[in-house]
Amino acid sequence: MEDKFEKKSPLFSILFVCLGNICRSPAAEGIMKYQLELNGLADKVFVDSAGIGSWHVGDLPDARMRIHGSRRGYDFTSRARQIRRTDFDRFNLIIVMDSDNYEDVCSLARNEDDRAKVHMMTEYLNRYKGRHSVPDPYYGGDAGFELVLDLLEDGCANLVRLLQKSHIV
């Protein structure tokens, strides 16, 4: 008998993580989903996002992030949640935005396998290679939000190419 779950279950899963899960990581989630869709890979990769902190649990992305995203054609509508240890079981790859996120997520890792799943978004940059973080835009102005989107579009496009090149999808 056909196993529908097996057929539907994604090949690969990616969790984007930032501090609050209302600016950078929900934008990364939306952009990655959009780019996977463009490449006909939407059903092959499961994408989600989470925050280190719990302050904004249940919230939509920050209004500024939504406005800047909508000007580029994105609709960021995820609801914030906090990362949990079981995410290490559910996700193949956990991508963080800055070195503080990296330390915080690694501190939740239970073993070396968990830790090996944690990567910086900057590892996937192409045009913006050399940057060391996707900087937190929360306390800044418009330029910070635009920079986040530029970096995430670059990194996600490259990540899709890498998944294809490594025959992961």
**Spatial distance between the Cα atoms of 78 and 129, rounded to a whole number of angstroms:** 28
User: Which position has the token pair 């913006």?
Assistant: 128
- For 91, other C-beta atoms within 10 Å of its C-beta total 22
Does 18 bind ligand 4NP (CB under 6 A)? Our answer is: yes
Q: Which stretch binds ligand 4NP (CB under 6 A): 20-28, 42-50, 87-95, 125-133?
A: 20-28
Does 104 bind ligand 4NP (CB under 6 A)? Our answer is: no
> Which residue among 24, 48, 87, 154 is the active-site one?
24
CA dihedral 134, 136, 138, 143 (to 10 degrees): -50
Active site residue 18: yes
Does 21 bind ligand 4NP (CB under 6 A)? Our answer is: yes
Q: Which stretch binds ligand 4NP (CB under 6 A): 22-30, 32-40, 110-118, 149-157?
A: 22-30
How many positions of this chain bind ligand 4NP (CB under 6 A)? 10
Strands (E), 52-113: 93-96
